[in-house]
Amino acid sequence: MSHKELNLKLKVWRQKNAQTAGAFKTYELNGISDEMSFLEMLDVLNEKLITEGGEPVAFDHDCREGICGMCSLYIDGKPHGPWQANTTCQLHMRAFNDGDTITIEPWRANSFPIVKDLTVDRSAFDRIIQAGGYVSVNTGNAVDGNSLPIEKDKADEAFASAMCIGCGACVAACKNSSAMLFLSAKVSHLALLPQGAPERKSRVLNMVAQMDKEGFGSCTNTGACEAACPKEISIANIARLNKEYIGASLTSE
Residues at the site binding another protein, with contacts judged by CB under 8 A: 11, 22, 24, 74, 76-79, 103, 105, 108-111, 173, 175-178, 180, 205, 208-209, 211-212, 215-228, 235-246, 249-250, 252-253
In terms of CB distance, is 69 or 217 closer to another protein? 217
In terms of CB distance, is 68 or 129 closer to another protein? 129
Q: How far is the CB of 146 from another protein (least distance, A)?
A: 28
Q: What are phi and psi of 235, to 5 degrees?
A: -70, -15
Q: How far is the CB of 235 from another protein (least distance, A)?
A: 8
In terms of CB distance, is 22 or 56 closer to another protein? 22
Residue 221 and residue 151 in contact, taking contact as beta carbons nearer than 8 Å = no
Q: How far is the CB of 51 from another protein (least distance, A)?
A: 28
In terms of CB distance, is 3 or 175 closer to another protein? 175
DSSP code string of 75-112? ETTEET-SSSS--GGG-BGGGS-TT-EEEEE----TTS
Q: How far is the CB of 207 from another protein (least distance, A)?
A: 10
Q: How far is the CB of 250 from another protein (least distance, A)?
A: 8
In terms of CB distance, is 13 or 34 closer to another protein? 13
Query: If DSSP codes are grouped into helix, strand and coil, which group holds residue 54?
Result: coil
Q: How far is the CB of 208 from another protein (least distance, A)?
A: 6
Q: Which residues contact 52 (CB under 8 A, 6 or more apart)?
A: none
Residue 188 and residue 240 in contact, taking contact as beta carbons nearer than 8 Å = yes
What are the Cα distances from residue 5, in Å, to 2, 12, 26, 28, 54? 10, 21, 20, 14, 25
What are the Cα distances from residue 62, in Å, to 49, 59, 136, 167, 250? 21, 10, 28, 12, 42
In terms of CB distance, is 30 or 84 closer to another protein? 84
